[in-house]
Structure 1
Amino acid sequence: MNDERPTSRISGFFKMSQEERYRALIDAQILTEEDVEYLRPSGEIGFDTANHMIENAIGVLELPLGLGLNFLIDGKDYVVPMAVEEPSVIAAVSHIAKLARPSGGFKTEYSGSRMIGQIQVVGASDWDATSAAILENKARLLAVANEFEPGMVARGGGAKDIRVRLIEEGKYQSMLIVHLVIDTCDAMGANMINTMAEGVAQEIEKLTDGRILLRILSNLCDERVAVARCRIPFSELGWRGFSGEDVAKGIELASQFAEVDPYRATTHNKGIMNGISSVCIASGNDWRAVESGAHAFAARSGQYSPLAVWWVEDGHLVGEIEVPLAVGTVGGPIRFHPTVQLVHRILRVESAGELARVMAAVGLAQNMAALKALATEGIQRGHMSLHARSVAATAGALEDEIDDVVKHLLKCQDIKVDRARRILFELRNSQL
């Protein structure tokens, strides 16, 4: 390839076949022949499947898929597939699930699968009259909305309520926001919500002298919340010279730090989402929507706060997480992605609510694992050990060489691929 930047203008790219796209990219000096051979999908997701899932597909990017083990949730065993590239995530949740298991594991709740479609009304001359007209016609508007998704209505879902919010904020133009509350059953429901919001918007506009602008779902699904709790006795918490009581009190103090400080709460919640997002990805759910909803939920009081909290009570460490989870077991990639379908067979969940409860338990376990490490030996030691294994593999170490490379990487505390390659060279030439 030359040093000049290639053009990003490739006319008709979206219409091209797989081979035509590859040829166009080679001709534009964006890819080489070797790049193309590397990109050709060779797994269960072929080019046609990828091209149906996204636009302008050229290949498939894979992630490691592993299993979170030892989970006992509401008296049932779960093997939890997790797709993630970060070392230690799966080991951490499996370790905490094992600790929680003897005392009953995780207990969970789910508030239901209601979500909100928002319809923005602007320019009306009388907001009180507009609000009253919409609420007076609630039954008819709900019926209109439900005409657009009769299948969901037949399953017990559909539009259930209409609410209005007048927003008048200083320099901003006044607006009325109509909330169309929809039960999406076992679907995440984004497309259905948008369809129903679009469908009912015309009828709402007829009730006002204003006009309708946005019609879109909200990813702050605060009526679709999963809760998970665990209660672990001090006797299960002893760790590398620390007593169980010391570990529990350290976790409690770490939790309090997050409860009063948004800088700490942000990293606290990132650790939670390490677990939840890994299950989201593996199960074919929209982890971006879940993460945005979780972080908005964490800030709903006006200060960003932890999604999970921990405290000491009667010789036990007690933890609780409350997190909105708009996830589904039908629709989207689940319909045609063979690995995602396999993940659901492994999970053996029967509803979106059950999947959300499992995710909440995973998030709570992930959080405790991080706090346990931070409150005792520090998170870096355990994390770097697993990171070193990934570095060794990237450097080309074979299965029977990885342990030796990791040992030397940790000894020199220079955990980088170049260092691993040098160590590997020396090992293979009997210089170490």
Structure 2
Amino acid sequence: MGWQFGLLLLGALLASHLIAMALLQRTGQLINPASRNQTVTTLSAVHALAMRGADMELAGADQDRAWLAEAPQVAPFAMLPEERHLAAAVAQALRLPAEGAVWMQIERVSGQQARASVFSPAVWQPLRLRASIALPDGQWLNASLGLQGRYEWSRILLFALPASVLPVLVVAWLVAWRLVRPLRRLIDAAGQLRYGHELPDLPVRGPHEARELTRQFNAMQRRLAQHRDARTRMLAAISHDLRTPVTALRLQAELIDDENLREDMIASLVELQAMVEETLDFARADARAEAWQTVDVAALLAPLERRYQQLGHTVPFTVPTGLRWVCRPIALRRALANLIENALRHAGDAAVRVVLPGPSTAGALCLCVEDAGPGIDPRKLEQVFEPFLQLDDARGPQRQGLGLGLAIARTCVEMQGGTLVLENRSEGGLRAVIRLPAPRRA
């Protein structure tokens, strides 16, 4: 935004210079006053030499010359105002009649009009005066003299542009910096808020509009935190309150004499208890995030590998040694556990692979959980992350759980600025990919 604002001001400044040049070129004086006086003096001296019959060689530029001829080089014509004024000044200095004795024509050295368009290359060419002065013997004194223009645009712009552009650009940069800095803070804060970062209120600085926007952002952040906390407390309270009657029902079910009925009741209560625990897990995942820590990735995942070995599941872990990363370890391990459980439940197998940060991962740490199951309809790969959602045909005929595992995993990953996506493998099965970028703060 800052450089765009600077370019806009620079364009406006250059446009104003061009407009001024066009106006002055059309209506301003053509000849520098000193050059005008010098021209009158030179023509007076040449006229005096011509009257005495002396040599009229001019000391000056190579193109300056004077000569006698039977006819004027400047035929009578309707002279422009500056030409009439110069002719009148010469006539007055030579004491000649004001009309008909002196003819002047001002033009560019290329022969083009003196008042050329500001966009024409001729405007940068020097001026030249062609003059014809009548002598008493009927001859004409012709002269061609160089003139210094009133506005030498090359020199004017050489000094005017730096003198005007640099201060304006400095002021524009300061103004843009004052405008952009609060917006940049808001952008950074909005990105961190999206991933569940706990942020202090942003400082209220800058122009009035930026201050008001910052106040509204701070208020919005507080309202979001209040809403999230209220929802978390509500879910936790409901799930906690359900534990007591479920436990009581299970105790009563143990007293049922009919064995088949007792086993059915206990199985239903176990499933209900699992649903309550899963809801509590979701509420905890949505609660305030844990602190950042620098951990050894292999050491972080080792307990998970041992856990599944003890449960009788073969879950291979491919993890580089010596890899350290800044993350929220409990949330990350929880996300991986949910993904592994999901793969084991629906596909019967799971494998974990850690990909080192590099150009192929855009500098992010990638953790992949892969299986060889039936996969998911590509149109529903994003839909399965919705809380409490279960696909009727998702990954096999049996439906287990409450549909919160993937939602909890994504929440745990997004808490630390990461992303979690699902993709079908070309060789068959599903791949869950966690990408953890280098965090903004540790």
Range class of TM-score, shorter chain: under 0.3
Greater RCO between the two (CA within 8 Å, min separation 6)? 1
Q: Over alpha carbons, which structure has the higher Rg?
A: 2
Q: Give the TM-score normalised by structure 1.
A: 0.19
More strand by share: 1
Compute the TM-score of the two structures, normalised by the length of structure 2.
Answer: 0.19
